[in-house]
Structure formats: C-alpha cells, structure tokens
Chain A
C-alpha cells in the first residue's frame, strides 16, 4: 500500500501541476476574498483585530479549499482513469491517502499567503510561538476538511447535481472543524498569554483532532465502498 501511495501521490501531484488553473485558482480565490473583506470593512478597531484576523484566514481558507475539493477527482474523471484505477489491483485506501496528501499541499499553499495578507490587512503581528501554533491549528483544520472533502468528492463524483450536492454535504459536516479552528485560533491570537489560554486552546485542539481522526478513519474505511460500483 505504501508503494501504491507513493506512485499515486506522485502522479496526482504531476496531474495537478500540469494544470496551472487548478493550482492557481483556489489561491487567487482566497486572495480575492481577503481583499474584498478588507476593502469592505476597512481596518478593524484595535480590540477586534485578532478576531478579524482569524475570521479572514478561515473564511478564505474554507471557501478556497472547498472549490479545490469539489473537483478533486476531475483529472481522474476526464478520461475515466478512475474506472481503470478501480479495476486495477490498487488499494482504495492508497487512492484516498494520495489524494488527501495532495489536497493538504494545496491547503498549505492557500494558507501561507492567507495568513500573511490577513495579518497585513488587520495590522496583526504575531510572535513566532503564536504564529506556529496558529499555523499548526489551521493545518489541522485543513487536514480534517481534506479527509471529509475527498470522501465526499468520491461519493458525489458521478452525481448529476455534484456542484450543488457537494457543498450541501460538506459545510454542515465541517462545522466541528470550523468551530474548533476559529475558537482555538482566536484563543491563540488573543492578547492574553498563551499559558492563560492553554486550557481553552487544548480543548479546541482536542475537538479538531477528534474530528480529524473520525473523518480520516471513515475516509479510509468507506472510500472503497463509495467507489466500488456504479
């Protein structure tokens, strides 16, 4: 399975980077959201800056990753490569994990500029320990959203109303991750000391990790069944 994962990951990554539109459009979409929000609300009041920063990062991250996830299997769907993968001696878990790994990379490429631009627009300057903690929590959220999104993308791959069905399923199910991400993020960025907010942060991180474990386990276990037959 590890060898298959490696081969599939490499090919999926190649297919993604061969299509610049697929790589660039979620990043540009995230940037557009940030610019629109910044110009609409202007510079927030000093006491609202940390919360506005967290809100902007998660807003751009969630919406941009959703657009990437909804069409996660498009390269395999185009020439029915997915059918041949299903007919080949390939572990469904390896297909799922390879796609998830590529989604995580995409999420990271959206996250880094989102944090930098949001911090600039909101006038937030985080010390390194808070910045690493916040980035880590965002990546944990992306991992959970990725597991959920890849599972749903496979599930809705052949649905006629895929573009409607995917967000209808994705947004309600991603609520625990978003709640944990935004609340935990706000606690990390808040002016109180990290030690004072530690209990709250660890509580939300636990929620996020639990949701991650559930979505990842369900994804690995269900993926084979979801793509088994038409």
Chain B
C-alpha cells in the first residue's frame, strides 16, 4: 500500500532474507505464488550492493538509472543525490573518480541508498539497509525513508537496528523459525 512501511523481523535463520529474495523474484517459492512487477520495486541485499566495483560512483548510478528508466540522469540530480549522502568529494564523484573497489563498506552502502532515491521506484525491498553506516548516514536514511513514505512510496525492511523505524507508522511482520 502507498505510504506503508513493513518491518520484517525474526530470529537469525527464520527466513527473512529468503522471503525478501522471493518477493524480488530471485527465488522460487516452494508453495504458493508471488506476483511482482520489477518496474515498481528495487531490491537491496544485505551483504552486497550490486555495483560494478571497477567503475566509479557516477558511472554506476548512471547505469542503473538509465537501465531502469531508459533516460539519462541529469548532472544536477546526480550531484544532489551524492551530496545528500556526503559522496560529493572530487575523488568519488569527479571525472577521475576512484573505483568502488576502493570504497569502504559504509560508503558503498551510502551509494546504494543514493541509488534508491535516484531511481525513484515506489517500493523498496531492503535487507539490513543501515549495516555498516555511521550515525550521520543512518539519520540521512531515516529522513530519506520518511520522505519516500510521505510521497506515497512503500518499503519492506529487514533490520535489527530499530532506530530507523522510530517515529514511523510501521507494520510488523514476525517470522518464527521452525
């Protein structure tokens, strides 16, 4: 539903990430059916960000945006997004930018979250989105998530860090391990 935030939680091994992968169409369910329109959601796994590590930040963001929308992202929009996530340093966003392989875990995560905003898909499927982020980046994520929900977006989030749900109306889905 537009504006809805679902917190998918449960003990380790309960199948939270598996459920999210099924929702993203990456795994087939053993029973039942899942209908997903890949134009309308964006998936972010827990331990990876889905980037070409030998390329720079801007090249990766351009690629994913163009692939999803068929349109090029404007330079202003790109700079704004990178600045929002404090990734507007010349060595990150410039013409001679460092490849992502040189980025820290937290910086790669910031870039993956910036990609969510740039692509503007209505549903976010996020597995531990704030892992590896510092306090400042977590605060940016919370404000970005709030704005996304206010604009009619929705999100399904797996996170052991409950700070990101504070102040947001959240539906909780508990998975019980068998």
- Interface set of A (CB-CB < 8 Å, partner B): 3-4, 7-8, 11, 14-15, 18-19, 75-76, 78-81, 83-90, 228-230
Decide if B24 is an interface residue (CB 8 Å cutoff). Answer: yes
Q: Would A90 and B67 count as touching, CB distance under 8 A?
A: yes
Chain B residues within 8 Å of A90, by CB = 67
**Considering the complex, which residues of chain B in the window 28-59 have a beta carbon less than 8 Å from any beta carbon of chain A?**
28, 38-39, 41-43, 45, 48-55, 59
Size class of B's contact patch? 20 to 34
A7-B63, A80-B48, A87-B24 known; 9 other A-B pairs, CB under 8 Å?
Answer: A7-B66, A7-B67, A8-B67, A11-B55, A15-B54, A18-B54, A79-B100, A83-B43, A230-B27
Residues in chain A near residue B45, CB distance under 8 A: 80, 83-84
Chain B binding surface SS class? loop
Instruction: Pick the 6 closest A-B CB pairs, nearest first.
Output: A84-B50, A80-B48, A18-B54, A89-B38, A87-B24, A87-B43
Q: How far is the CA of A221 from the CA of B64 in the complex (A)?
A: 24
Given A18-B55, A88-B38, A89-B38, also A79-B28 (CB < 8 A): no
Contact B59 A87 (CB under 8 A): no
Q: A19-B54, A80-B45, A84-B43 are in contact. Are A229 and B27 (CB under 8 A)?
A: yes
Taking a contact as CB atoms closer than 8 A, the residue among B21, B24, B53, B68 that contacts A79 in the complex is: B53
Contact B68 A89 (CB under 8 A): yes
When C-beta atoms are compared, the residue in chain A nearest to B54 turns out to be: A18
Instruction: Please tell me if the beta carbons of A88 and B54 are within 8 angstroms of each other in the complex.
Output: no
State in angstroms the CA–CA spacing of A171 and B149 once bound together. Answer: 53
Question: Using Cβ atoms and an 8 Å threshold, which residues of chain B touch A228?
Answer: 28
Report yes or no: B26 in contact with A75, Cβ–Cβ below 8 A: no
Chain B residues whose C-beta falls within 8 Å of the C-beta of A8 in the assembled complex: 67
- Tell me the minimal C-beta distance from B25 to chain A in angstroms: 6
Q: Least Cβ distance of B58 to chain A in Å?
A: 12
From A14, A79, A85, A89, B39 is in contact (CB under 8 Å) with A89
Interface presence of B99 (CB below 8 A): yes
The answer to whether B70 has its CB under 8 Å from any CB of chain A is yes
Minimum CB–CB distance from A3 to chain B (whole Å) comes to 5
Cα(A84)–Cα(B52), bound, Å: 11
Chain B residues near A75 (CB-CB < 8 A): 52-54
Q: Which residue of A lies closest to B115 (CB)?
A: A84
Q: When the two chains form their complex, are residues A88 and B67 in contact, meaning their CB atoms are under 8 A apart?
A: yes
In the complex, residue of chain A having the shortest beta-carbon distance to the beta carbon of B41 = A87
- A79 in contact with B63 (CB, 8 Å): no
Q: Is the CB of B55 within 8 A of A15?
A: yes
Which of B28, B70, B99 is within 8 Å of A18, CB to CB? Answer: B99
